[in-house]
Structure 1
Amino acid sequence: MQNKIDYKNIKKIGLVTRPNVSLDKEILKLQSILSIYKVELILLKESSEILDLPKYGLDDLFKISDFVISLGGDGTLISLCRKACEYDKAVLGIHAGHLGFLTDFKVDEAENFFQAFFQGEFRIEKPYLLSIFLEDRQGKILEKLAFNDVVISKNNQASMAHIEVFRKEKKFNEYFGDGLIVATPAGSTAYNLSANGPIVYTLAQAFILTPVCSHSLTQRPIVLPKGFEIEIMAKDCMLCIDGQENYKMNDFKSIKVGLSDKNVALIHPKNRDYFQILKEKLHWGN
């Protein structure tokens, strides 16, 4: 994954946002700021129907951009991060609305950010993703990535999920309840946190198993190291990747999950303070 950005030779920056007329003004602000540095802003086709800016499909956008801006919330950025891995491109998150855990600043603060950026004053953090290997009944393996989490949940709301977890063909644990979350450190502040899972520092090389509404008080979250691969088996359950892709677990004979060797480069202001963000979002110390 991209370790350095040649900030002195940036020519094109891509931008992805969900279609929203109210964001067009924000996009034009970014275009105006970047034009000062002779950088062209290009858009994902679906990001705006009105603006007269160069527009491309997602794959082409990544191919020709030096890096990509995600304008929106954490959800927009998460979907981009998985694509960024394919093209070894960095992502900058600018939030439109409330401060997220991953997006650092609003468009109103972009002028100061880019002034510092084009002087080399920025930082890159590279959180790891999850690798998911789905082997179907015919033996075909589908490999997927998750930035935040993989969630196994019961298919029938009237039933209880029974989820078995194996490591090296030995049963590691089994869970009875509403489901199981497998989260990255970056995803530890998402659904995992709502299910009383631990917050794990974003750059830690580990992942988390957190039961959802377990029927046993002894079933607690556990943090596992990189290199620890688990196999998950559950009947009549759904598997959801980053809240965006859904699969029926009955369609697969094997599902394996572990921390990937792949990470994604996230661009941040140089003075970003992860723990200050936690304090602000979670109201620590108030």
Structure 2
Amino acid sequence: MIQVVPLIGISCCFRTIDVANIGQVRHHTVYEMYADYVRDVLGAAPVLIPALYEAADTAALAVLTSRLDGLLLTGSPSNVCLRPDDQADHGFAEVEGFVGSADLKRDWTTLPLLRQALQDELPVLGICRGMQEMNVLHGGSMVHELHLQQGRMDHRSDKTVPYWDRYGPAHRAIPQPGSWIANQLKQSDFEPDPDLSDLQINSLHTQAVDLPGNGIEVELRAEDGTIEAIRIENAKSFAYGVQWHIEWHHDCSPLNVLISNAFRAASQTRAHRLQGLAS
């Protein structure tokens, strides 16, 4: 098979940043690790998607998904502020009593974009906030301040350590019986330690999935029961979400390798199919 380089779209956030000698300037932003992950781990070409497409602009979103081979929904300090609402304009409404920082321009881009991507059978990987967007789109609920919930660990990062150290292993992830990842681990002949110490993941989030949405399968949980990975059951291509930052220390866990390999393979398959249709 001829080697092709898939095009993978990366969702951007919308932020106002202080620029020297200018002042506050609005930017579409993405952390460099996401682009590096797409290029170096997935072997694909990263395409940044600015947070400017409103839900009504379905034609532009359809063009995007028709030309991409994969979609990476990135993490962010902001929480998902919109929820599906058939009675609201464009099918989404803002959360009442919202807690945390919001990024409405991103919400109005990623939620309709994800809906279009799934319709067009585009492979999807959601990371941190990206996983939460997958759950929200399917009607799932969220916990905004997980650390305040009784019986839950503090899943926020340790701000007293250097930036790069915050992405080190923080706690275990437990595969759920019958899940896709449990089957992948079994087929790979990987034998987890009895205490699952080799299935460690990082943890840098305040918001988390509360109740899974329709068609959302829980794949992994933390020791305190927090949902750490989900899969869209009826998706016609790879559609997986992880709460941790898989783009960091990629080779440190078999979870990272198996999930990344599956996303890469699905994106390459689509790239070959689209290239064949275009030739």
Shared fold, TM over 0.5: no
Structure with the higher fraction of residues in helix conformation: 2
Bigger Rg, which one: 1
TM-score norm. by structure 2 comes to 0.30
